[in-house]
Structure 1
Amino acid sequence: MSLKYAAIRATFELLWLTGMPRLFRLLSHSRGVILTLHRVVRDAPADFSPNAILQIEPDFLDYCLERIRDLGIDIVSMDEALERLAGPRGSRPFVVLTFDDAYRDNLHYALPILHAHDAPFTLYVPTAFVDGVGQLWWQAIEDIIASQDAVAFFEDGDTEYVDTRTLAQKRDAFDRLYWRMRKLPEPERLALLKDFTAAYGYDLDRQCRELIMDWPELRLFAGDPLCTIGAHTVHHYELAKLPVEQARAEMIQSVDVIEAQFGLRPRHFSYPLGGPLSCGPREFELARELGFRTAVTTRPGGLYPHHLKTPTELPRVSLNGYFQKRRYVDVFTSGGLFTQLGRLMR
């Protein structure tokens, strides 16, 4: 675990020990919180698993839903969350559950738990992923680095060989390649990803088909009364890096594809990656123009009545795989607390 996450864990411990989550729930004007989830998997991550932040264990999800309701917090749909924000102060606090990317493990492990707790949720779908031709590049570079004692980095026609024998070397290599890809324009990132994966015989399409649900599997969610299907672009590109017309097409085409598949037109949207590098005022306005009722970021914070004025730039709190201790659920569900933490982070 990096120093950053070690510091966050220490902060969580201090907040829990001092009773701050309960105090914020009592005194804050926050009405609720949207939780971000990705994967739900049984197996504990390997020592080198930089994407473990995206996965939690089924038992932890089960406990989270139980604890949320024990705290007197309701689990509601995205549409009901908006209604509650418009309602009078003093109503019960709420949590909205959201899952990004349509991972197959959501079907095998998350859905039975959600049914057992009668918990509504939103599933945001990147349609190329479900077609089996998406590029889960963050997982690809982890898989390659995990399997190699050295990797070749390609830049400006030059090749640099980087040692990845030790755990520390693997982490350094991942961080270097990950952030290089995050900062590149999308066409350049795609070219770099193609070269890197080809050098190691890594099949991105096969990886996508193994990790992501196909359309028949996803139909089980689309027909589930607990599930709200949301859009998540076609290719999971960072929209802020795209020309405006391409960004608009990524958003609207994902809606059109889902409507063609299921006969329902998503009204809710999730920005891929969702941070300041990935979306901003231009994308928020696009979501408004395209008629989305809500659109969610990954900026941390709680929900307040004022968010009714900006429903296409909603904050979320990541149910992070590095923090699967039961006492941390009290911290995750305190929207006001995460609003303050978000301000400190900015």
Structure 2
Amino acid sequence: MSLKYAAIRASFELLWLTGMPALFRLLSRSRGVILTLHRVLPEEPADFSPNAILQVQPDFLDYCIERIRDLGIDIVSLDEALERLAEPRKGRSFVVLTFDDAYKDNLRHALPILRAHEAPFTLYVPTAFVDGVGQLWWQAIEDIIARQEAVAFTEDGETEYVDTRTLAQKREAFDRLYWRLRKLPEPDRLALLHEFTAAYGYDLDKQCRELIMDWQELRLFAGDPLCTIGAHTVNHYELAKLPAEQARSEMSQSVDVIEAQFGLRPQHFSYPLGGPLSCGPREFALAAELGFRTAVTTRPGGLYPSHLQKLTELPRVSLNGYFQKSRYVDVFASGGLFTQLGRFMG
């Protein structure tokens, strides 16, 4: 775990011990929280699992839903959340559950829990992933580094061989490659990704088909009345790195594909990665121009009535795999608290 996440965990412990989540829920004007989830898996992560931040275990999801309701907080759809924001003096505070990327494990492990609790949720779908041709690059580089004792990094025509025998070396190599990919323009990122995965015989399309629901599976998931389907672009590119017209196309085409598949036009959108490097004022304006009712980021914070004036830049709180302790759920459910923590956690 990085120093950043260790510091956040220490903060969670202190906040819980001092009773701050309850105080913030009582005094804050925050009406609710949108929670972000990705994967729901029963297995414990391996020692080297930098993407474990994106997964929670089914028992933890089950407990979260129970605990949120025990706190007197309702679990509602995005549309109902907007209604409650418009009438801030009516109704209880709320949590919205959202899932990104359409992982198969959502169907296998999350949906039965959501059904058992009758908990509404939103699933944001990157359509190329469901077509089986997406690049889940963050998982690919983890998989390769996990099984290698050394990896080759090529930059400016020079190749460097990096030891990855120890856990610390693997983590260092992952962080180095991850941030290099994040900082590259999308065409350069894709070229480097394909070069790196090809060198180790890693099949990106096969990985995508193994991890992500196909359209038939997605119909089972989306057919549940608890589910709201949202758009998440076509290729899961960081929109801020794209020319404006390509960014617009990524957003609008994903809506067209989902409408063609399901006969409904998504009203809600999630920006891939969702942080300051990935989306900003230009993307927020594009989402509004394209007619989305809401669009969500990954910037942490609670929801306030003032968010009705900026519905295409909504905050979310990540239900992070590094923080699967029952006492932390009280912290996750406190929107006002996360608004204060937002700068530190972003």
Verify same fold: TM over 0.5: yes
In 1, distance between residues paired with 2:343 and 2:124?
26
Asked if residue 285 in structure 1 is aligned to residue 285 in structure 2, the reply is yes
Residues 89 and 343 of structure 1, relative CA distance in 2, 3 Å threshold: farther
Partner of 1:63: 63
Asked if residue 78 in structure 1 is aligned to residue 78 in structure 2, the reply is yes
Identity across matched positions, percent: 87
The answer to whether the 8 Å contact 2:300/2:345 transfers is no
CA deviations on 1:184-216 (whole Å, 9 max, x unpaired) are 000000000000000000000000000000000
Which secondary structure does the structure 1 equivalent of 2:249 belong to? helix
Asked if residue 164 in structure 1 is aligned to residue 164 in structure 2, the reply is yes
By how many angstroms is 1:4 displaced? 1.0
Which secondary structure does the structure 1 equivalent of 2:219 belong to? helix
Asked if residue 177 in structure 1 is aligned to residue 177 in structure 2, the reply is yes
Which secondary structure does the structure 1 equivalent of 2:295 belong to? strand
Partner of 2:43: 43
By how many angstroms is 1:90 displaced? 5.3
In 2, distance between residues paired with 1:69 and 1:52?
26
By how many angstroms is 1:154 displaced? 1.3
Partner of 2:271: 271
In 2, distance between residues paired with 1:299 and 1:89?
26
Partner of 1:225: 225
By how many angstroms is 1:220 displaced? 1.1
In 2, distance between residues paired with 1:59 and 1:344?
28
CA deviations on 1:55-114 (whole Å, 9 max, x unpaired) are 000000000000000000000000000000001325300000000000000000000000
Partner of 1:141: 141
CA deviations on 1:200-236 (whole Å, 9 max, x unpaired) are 0000000000000000000012211100000000000
Which secondary structure does the structure 2 equivalent of 1:159 belong to? strand
The answer to whether the 8 Å contact 2:84/2:90 transfers is no
In 1, distance between residues paired with 2:35 and 2:344?
20
Which secondary structure does the structure 2 equivalent of 1:322 belong to? helix
List aligned pairs for 1:107-256, cutoff 5 A: 107-256=107-256
Which 4+ residue blocks in structure 1 deviate beyond 4 angstroms? none
CA deviations on 1:273-328 (whole Å, 9 max, x unpaired) are 00000000000000000000000000000000000000000000000000000000
In 1, distance between residues paired with 2:99 and 2:222?
14
Asked if residue 336 in structure 1 is aligned to residue 336 in structure 2, the reply is yes
In 2, distance between residues paired with 1:221 and 1:73?
25
Gaps of 5+ in 1: none
By how many angstroms is 1:137 displaced? 0.1
In 1, distance between residues paired with 2:54 and 2:266?
24
CA deviations on 1:19-78 (whole Å, 9 max, x unpaired) are 000000000000000000000001000000000000000000000000000000000000
In 1, distance between residues paired with 2:311 and 2:246?
22
Paired residues in the alignment total 346
TM-score normalised by length of structure 2: 0.99
Partner of 1:258: 258
By how many angstroms is 1:158 displaced? 1.4
Letter in 1 for 2:144: I
